[in-house]
Amino acid sequence: MANASALTFQELLFNLQTFWAARGCVLQQPYDVEVGAGTMSPETFLRVLGPRPFYVAYAQPSRRPADGRYGENPNRLYKHTQFQVILKPPPERVQELYLESLAAMGIDLREHDLKFEEDNWEWPAGGAWGVGWQVMLDGLEITQFTYFQQCGGQELDPICAELTYGLERIAAFLQDVDSIYDIVWARDPVTQRAITYGEVRLEEEVQFSTYNFEHADVAKLWEHFRLYEQECQALLALVREDEATRKERERVPVLAAYDLCLKCSHLFNLLDARGAVSVTERVGIIGRIRNLTVGVARAYAATLATQTAGQAA
Amino acid sequence: MAEFLFEIGLEEIPARMIAGAEQELAARLKSMLVAENLLTGEVDLRRYATPRRLAVTISGVLEQQQDVTEQLTGPAWKVAFKDGQPTAAAAAFAKKAGLAVEALVKHTTPKGEYVSATVTKAGRTAAEILIEKLPAELGKIYWAKNMYWRPGKPERFVRPVRWMVALLDSAVVPVEFGGKIAGNATYGHRVLHGDAPVTITSPVDYVAKLEAAYVVADVSVRRERIRKALDRVTRTVEGARWREDAPLVETVTQLTEWPSVVLGTFEGEYLELPDEVLVTVMRDHQKYFAVNDAGGKLAPHFLAVLNTQVDAAGEAVIRHGNERVLRARFNDARFFWTFDQKTPLAERVELLRAVTFQKDLGSYFTKTETNIRLASALATTLAARGIAVDEPALLTATRLAKADLTAELVKEFTELQGVIGGLYARAEGLGERVAQAIYWQYRPAAADDAIPPSVEGQLLGLADRMATIVDMFALGLEPTGSKDPFALRRAANGVIRILAASGLPLKLSELEWMATSPEQDALAETSTSAVAAFFRERLDFYLREVMEFSYDVAKAVLAAGGDDVADAIARAQALTEVRASDAEGHLAAISGAFKRIQNILRQAREKGEPYDTAAVANVLVEPEERALHEQFNVVAPEVETLRASHRYAEAFGRIATLRPTVDSFFDKVMVMAPDAVLRRNRLSLIAEVAGRFSSIADFSEIVSG
């Protein structure tokens, strides 16, 4: 009993964007480097550092190679879409604001059961954690709501609120379809013909599952990992050399270093999907990625401090 | 006298933390009021909590502290007044006391005459004190996990503070905390009542006003409503009953302000999955209650506790949504269940080479080999002691025990490790003995949990835990203080519990010795004593905390040995019984005598006085020492016979009969006699008495009374 009057997948995205733009968020585009979650986009990971207030919202395709199921599982995807909102610092009535966003998606809370259940978030490789809730609607987790406390090993002040909506899950719920692939992505404005999620994305799921699980060349992945790691470290070394000449620091390309770090993270996920990372190695690799993310966050925070000092002078 | 209401409104508090915080807030408020002399005798203290608030009302609060009158003593009169005129000293004292010099009076003491002043300290109002003291009490509430939320990080708390209510009768007490100032406005249910504030005019209104705003503030009332609703809704299915689950009732009670219950249904085909998997999905992942049919079997229904109240149409929507989620989760579980079984457990053992047990101890494959070696040794030992063990089944179970760590279903439901392996073993037709041993390997999981029902299961559990403990100790990874990253204390508790409940004739030292590999022998000396001490401490814990024996009984029993767990428990049991029925105080007296013996012997050793393990009969001269020697030589063999047949209560009873003889010995005989020969023989006599009974209990540890 699919609900034909529910928002299409793209309308859901439009409405969330419109809603949050009207509440002061900068609308960003998805970051164009592979990430496992919206949190890893520099729009979150780096922007939450330092004192400057910032509201941003964006959709982020999030790739998790090990979650791919060749398009055969109705609930699991290699690449799903997170809608990410960062509110730094969080407004006083941030929970109520969030509940209004549900209304913008066509959810009338008087007809549903809503609970905020404790769920603390942690990204060890990013030196990041926060406390918060999974927001449950009729037993379905529709949003992860987190008060960031630390990021890249840096204590945050002010802290920020992060809202992460799982768009496929919410769309399937609203449209009342049992498979993600049956979600109506768009409707032809003239004929009203439904274009489904499956038509748009199924082939991509199949192909990438095949690549991730069967063809990704393990030796080359390790080599890529090593090369990206080296280059990232080389950039971070510039920051350290720079300690003596503080004024030059602004020119260190910290953002590029972060991209290299994201590459390493994605390669690790690919290696993991290939079953190439033993549990012993896992801890070590996560530690290596953490060194990069923490190094980038430290360098970025230092850059901000220099800029602030420059503006003051 | 007034009633005080305090409520702190928070963003949703984690369910697991609410009960503790509710109690702590009430206790802190009360003890603060007591410390400030603001409470009268009769006090009615009530606590309230929901996910969004903690509250307390307390009656019998004085609006104002009583004035306190004090007598201050100043300088000597003759220093303060010269020729009847006040000096600088008098002026300074008067100023300090806040009085005019004329108000000072003469106070005569045995030491002489002094200046004295009567000062009255005015009592402060309750409101003043609450404003001053309550914020600090709030800040001290314990939370398992805290957060910062305000810029500049002025405080940490479980979640941001949204409002506070503080009313002394009808007067607002503007307590400040977390950036908020208390008033008289609270808030109702998020959805059913909405954002409009609810004004509380007096503490007595609190519960009713919230009830009208769709909030049941009293936890026990909410719990009862949930239980009743579960009963009522379950009755709509003929003969059905919901599966009692007290911890889950607590969780949903703390997740709701206005609970109701909806019954959902799932497709009967999912009942092909094991109950363990279905119930775990429902309980742990969805917080649903499972339902049994009239025959006690799992029925294709579930109960969801909602935090709202809806009409029939709304209920249909919510039921449908919850059913949808559960179906997706069951589908996942079924996929893994089928997928996993394409790879038999025996093949999965190889895959364990890639799963790390501990970095210096290698993979779970190595761990499995260690476990097999120990399980095999245990089976051989028990067979020699006449205990029937199905060794092939034990070894198969041990070899396959960890294989389910590679199963997708275990990765999804980690709480089911072991259980899943057992279920797969059964599905593979490996036999009930093997399946059951694997299934039960991580049990007992807690002090009151059941142990594996079969010998094979018990031995697998012992081997797995003991090998881990010994290997970790050999690497110096023993628990320290609050740090126990490998849960070795829990493992040791499991060993002790299995030994205690199974009665298997195995000693801790034997287990440890068998678990120590030849390569570790070089290190064995240090780690062995450390392992033994660790088990001694765990057994002491088990006797006191689990078996609830008193502190001194545990100590007395363990001083006589704690290698045989079941035997130590039997001795503790007997000692406790004998003490309870010891109306004449014989045991207490014997205990006193043994303390005395230990003291005398210790002093003798310190002085270098020689003595032997037994007295020589013909050197005993006094009738009392002869009597003790004779009676002791009658009682001791009897006690040993009783001990050998584990009749400990009777043994203790026999020892207690020595009391009059021991008493008169110490009354009449001087142990430290001037004559060296007599002295040595008397010391030997008491050493013999203490020594012969030392394998049953150290009586000197017993605390009388």
Per residue in A131-168, pLDDT (tens digit) is 999 999 999 999 999 999 999 999 999 999 999 999 99
Q: By mean pLDDT, which of A27-36, A211-220, B576-585 is the weakest? A: B576-585
Distance, in Å, from the CA atom of B469 to the CA atom of B489, rounded to the nearest integer, reads 9
Partner A contacted by B15 (CB < 8 A): yes
The nearest CA of chain A is from the CA of B410 a distance in Å of 16
Distance, in Å, from the CA atom of A91 to the CA atom of A93, rounded to the nearest integer, reads 6
Residues in chain A, overall count: 313
Partner B contacted by A110 (CB < 8 A): yes
Using the predicted structure, report yes or no on whether residue A243 has a pLDDT greater than 80: no
Residue range B359-378: mean pLDDT, rounded? 92
Distance, in Å, from the CA atom of B52 to the CA atom of B485, rounded to the nearest integer, reads 34
Instruction: Choose, out of B53, B156, B158, B190, the residue to mutate when testing the contact with A (most A CBs < 10 Å).
Output: B190
Distance, in Å, from the CA atom of B354 to the CA atom of B360, rounded to the nearest integer, reads 14
Contacts of A117 in chain B (CB under 8 A): 12, 15, 255
The nearest CA of chain A is from the CA of B149 a distance in Å of 6
What's at B17, amino acid-wise? Answer: M
User: Distance of CA A89 to CAs A29, A157, B12, B54, B152, Å?
Assistant: 21, 9, 19, 26, 11
B 59-78 residues inside an 8 A Cβ radius of A: none
Question: Sign of the CA dihedral A208, A213, A215, A216?
Answer: positive
Q: By mean pLDDT, which of A248-257, B337-346, B687-696 is the weakest? A: A248-257
Using the predicted structure, report yes or no on whether residue B704 has a pLDDT greater than 70: no
- Find the closest chain B residue to A276 by CA distance: B354
Residue A275: its pLDDT value, please? 81
Query: Is the CB of residue B419 less than 8 Å from the CB of residue B276?
Result: yes
Categorize the per-residue pLDDT at B593 as very low, low, confident or very high, splitting at 50, 70 and 90: confident
Contacts of A163 in chain B (CB under 8 A): none
Residue A55: its pLDDT value, please? 98
The nearest CA of chain A is from the CA of B479 a distance in Å of 22
The nearest CA of chain B is from the CA of A292 a distance in Å of 24
Categorize the per-residue pLDDT at B691 as very low, low, confident or very high, splitting at 50, 70 and 90: confident
Nearest to B321 among A75, A96, A140 (CB): A140
Closest C-alpha among A128, A3, A25, A156 to residue A83: A25
DSSP letter string, B396-430: HHHHHTTGGGG-HHHHH-GGGTTHHHHHHHHHTT-
**C-alpha B322 chain-centroid distance:** 36
Mean pLDDT of chain A: 92
Using the predicted structure, report yes or no on whether residue B466 has a pLDDT greater than 90: yes
Q: Kindly state the helix (H) or strand (E) to which residue B5 belongs, with its residue range.
A: strand B2-10
A110–B191 CB contact, under 8 Å: yes
The nearest CA of chain A is from the CA of B372 a distance in Å of 23
Distance, in Å, from the CA atom of A197 to the CA atom of B293, rounded to the nearest integer, reads 40
Beta-carbon contacts of residue B297 (< 8 Å; ≥ 6 apart): none
Using the predicted structure, report yes or no on whether residue B247 has a pLDDT greater than 80: yes
Q: What is the pTM (predicted TM-score) of this model?
A: 0.83
pLDDT tens per residue, range B319-353: 999 999 999 999 989 989 999 999 999 999 999 98
Residue B521: its pLDDT value, please? 59
Residue B580: its pLDDT value, please? 86
Categorize the per-residue pLDDT at A280 as very low, low, confident or very high, splitting at 50, 70 and 90: low
Residue B28: its pLDDT value, please? 97
B241-242/B197-199 β-pairing: unpaired
Using the predicted structure, report yes or no on whether residue B278 has a pLDDT greater than 60: yes
Residue A284: its pLDDT value, please? 84
Query: Is the CB of residue B239 less than 8 Å from the CB of residue B294?
Result: yes
Residue whose token pair is 């009374």: B705
Question: Sign of the CA dihedral B67, B69, B70, B74?
Answer: positive
DSSP letter string, A124-152: GGGTEEEEEEEEEETTEEEEEEEEEEEET
Distance, in Å, from the CA atom of A146 to the CA atom of A135, rounded to the nearest integer, reads 10
Q: Kindly state the helix (H) or strand (E) to which residue B316 belongs, with its residue range.
A: helix B312-340
- What the block records as the tokens of B349 is 């053992």
Query: Is the CB of residue A208 less than 8 Å from the CB of residue A33?
Result: no
Using the predicted structure, report yes or no on whether residue B518 has a pLDDT greater than 80: no
B317–A138 CB contact, under 8 Å: yes
DSSP-assigned beta bridge partners for residue B73: B116
Closest C-alpha among A105, A113, A98 to residue B189: A113
A118–B11 CB contact, under 8 Å: no
A112–B148 CB contact, under 8 Å: no
Distance, in Å, from the CA atom of A98 to the CA atom of A73, rounded to the nearest integer, reads 30
Percent of chain A with pLDDT over 70: 94
The nearest CA of chain B is from the CA of A112 a distance in Å of 6
The DSSP 8-state label assigned to residue B483 in this structure reads: B
Using the predicted structure, report yes or no on whether residue A241 has a pLDDT greater than 90: no
Residue B112: its pLDDT value, please? 87
B151–A157 CB contact, under 8 Å: yes
**C-alpha B43 chain-centroid distance:** 30
Using the predicted structure, report yes or no on whether residue A288 has a pLDDT greater than 70: yes
Residues in chain B, overall count: 705
Nearest to A118 among B14, B152, B318 (CB): B14
The nearest CA of chain B is from the CA of A203 a distance in Å of 22
Residue B578: its pLDDT value, please? 87
DSSP letter string, B56-118: EEEEEE-SBPPPEEEEEEEEEHHHHEETTEE-HHHHHHHHHHTS-GGG-EEEEETTEEEEEEE
Residue A310: its pLDDT value, please? 63
Residue A250: its pLDDT value, please? 53
DSSP letter string, B489-546: HHHHHHHHHHHHHH--S--HHHHHHHHS-GGGHHHHHHHHHHHHHHHHHHHHHIIIII
Residue B198: phi and psi, rounded to 5, are -115, 120
A26-27/A54-63 β-pairing: parallel
Q: Kindly state the helix (H) or strand (E) to which residue B280 belongs, with its residue range.
A: helix B275-280
The nearest CA of chain B is from the CA of A168 a distance in Å of 14
Residue B201: phi and psi, rounded to 5, are -95, -25
Contacts of B53 in chain A (CB under 8 A): none
Query: Is the CB of residue B393 less than 8 Å from the CB of residue B425?
Result: no
Partner A contacted by B427 (CB < 8 A): no
Q: Residues B24, B25, B27, B32: what is their CA dihedral angle, to the nearest 10 degrees?
A: 130
Closest C-alpha among B206, B326, B310 to residue B270: B326
Closest C-alpha among B581, B685, B680 to residue B627: B685
Residue B109: phi and psi, rounded to 5, are -125, 170
Residue B519: its pLDDT value, please? 63
Using the predicted structure, report yes or no on whether residue B522 has a pLDDT greater than 60: no
User: Interior CA angle at A147 toward A141 and A153, to 5°?
Assistant: 120
Contacts of B318 in chain A (CB under 8 A): 111-113, 138
Using the predicted structure, report yes or no on whether residue A221 has a pLDDT greater than 60: yes
Categorize the per-residue pLDDT at A306 as very low, low, confident or very high, splitting at 50, 70 and 90: confident
The DSSP 8-state label assigned to residue B158 in this structure reads: S
B255–A115 CB contact, under 8 Å: yes
Residue A279: its pLDDT value, please? 62
Residue A105: its pLDDT value, please? 95
Instruction: Choose, out of B149, B286, B305, the residue to mutate when testing the contact with A (most A CBs < 10 Å).
Output: B149
Partner B contacted by A122 (CB < 8 A): no
Nearest to A280 among B191, B310, B359 (CB): B359
pLDDT tens per residue, range B543-559: 999 999 999 999 999 99
Q: Kindly state the helix (H) or strand (E) to which residue B47 belongs, with its residue range.
A: strand B45-50
Residue range B44-72: mean pLDDT, rounded? 94
pLDDT tens per residue, range B558-574: 998 899 999 999 999 99
The DSSP 8-state label assigned to residue A109 in this structure reads: G
Query: Is the CB of residue B466 less than 8 Å from the CB of residue B374?
Result: yes
Nearest to A278 among B159, B255, B356 (CB): B356
Task: Count CB neighbours of B251 within 10 A.
Answer: 18
Residue B178: its pLDDT value, please? 96
B308–A113 CB contact, under 8 Å: yes
Residue A151: phi and psi, rounded to 5, are -150, 135
Partner A contacted by B310 (CB < 8 A): yes
Question: Sign of the CA dihedral B502, B508, B510, B512?
Answer: positive
B190–A90 CB contact, under 8 Å: no
Contacts of A276 in chain B (CB under 8 A): none
Using the predicted structure, report yes or no on whether residue A213 has a pLDDT greater than 90: yes
The nearest CA of chain B is from the CA of A29 a distance in Å of 28
Nearest to B151 among A76, A158, A279 (CB): A158
Task: Count CB neighbours of B1 within 10 A.
Answer: 12
Distance, in Å, from the CA atom of B635 to the CA atom of B654, rounded to the nearest integer, reads 7
Question: Sign of the CA dihedral B515, B518, B521, B527?
Answer: negative
Residue of higher predicted confidence among B44 and A284: B44
B 171-230 residues inside an 8 A Cβ radius of A: 190-192, 195
Using the predicted structure, report yes or no on whether residue A2 has a pLDDT greater than 80: no
The nearest CA of chain A is from the CA of B248 a distance in Å of 14
Most confident range (mean pLDDT) of B105-109, B124-128, B616-620 is B124-128
Using the predicted structure, report yes or no on whether residue A313 has a pLDDT greater than 60: no
Nearest to A75 among B153, B190, B328 (CB): B328
- Please count the residue pairs, one from chain A and one from chain B, whose beta carbons lie less than 8 angstroms apart: 108
Nearest to A112 among B146, B286, B317 (CB): B317
Categorize the per-residue pLDDT at B111 as very low, low, confident or very high, splitting at 50, 70 and 90: confident
Query: Is the CB of residue B259 less than 8 Å from the CB of residue B229?
Result: yes
